[in-house]
Amino acid sequence: MTGIRFGAPGTEALHLCVDMQRLFGPGSSWAVPWMEKILPAVAELTEAHAARTIFTRFIPPADQGAAIGSWARYYAVWPQMLRDRLPSEWLELAPPLARHVPPARLFDKQLYSPWPDGRLDGFLRRTGISTLIVTGGETEVCVLATVLGAIDRGYRVVLVSDAVCSSADPSHDAAMRIYESRFGQQVETAPLAELLDQWRV
């Protein structure tokens, strides 16, 4: 079942946009082709609720020596994405989103998930946020880590179905089916038009 089913989001809601950076845009080794397709939808939602938006940014380690455990193996495959080789501007948000900071906020992380160090959860609790409206990429990687961490912490999650992206159609589709079929009491999936109609803070 899809759609917003547990009431209109209100003052307790926040837009959490996952990793919509130049790092995943055209010309990057990690380019996500769908990112350009969903960017207008993410920008429209941000425009409507800029003061209630947090953009996460994925920040790679400084160098190979800073990559621990299996991340060392990962970055051995992608050494050009380490910060000692990567131009700093590639870490920035896509330009249509960057202009909204401030009032939108940035949250930098070095992992798929934004939750492990407690900073994000602490900020959300202090500001009375209990609902997260999630956009960004990738559907089955950083978005998945963000959504599962939010579920574990008891947040209501509204995933904007036409504002998430992946570089692989089959795994995107599979992830969307899992969100809709396995997390029915904790995740709602809805298109942007429905979300904007209901979220009128």
18, amino acid identity: V
Residue 196 contacts residue 10 (beta carbons within 8 Å): no
Position 201 confidence tier, pLDDT thresholds 50, 70, 90? confident
Percent of the chain with pLDDT over 70: 100
pLDDT value, residue 154: 97
Give the span between the Cα atoms of 106 and 25, in whole angstroms. 18
Task: Tell me the C-alpha to C-alpha distance, in Å, between residue 127 and each of 7, 13, 124, 130.
Answer: 20, 10, 5, 9
pTM over 0.85: yes
Mind listing the domains of the chain with CATH numbers?
13-61+91-198 (3.40.50.850)
Of 189, 126, 115, the closest CA to residue 153 belongs to: 115
Give the 3-state secondary structure of residue 20.
Answer: coil
Tens digit of pLDDT for each residue in 53-70? 999 999 999 999 999 999
pLDDT value, residue 168: 94
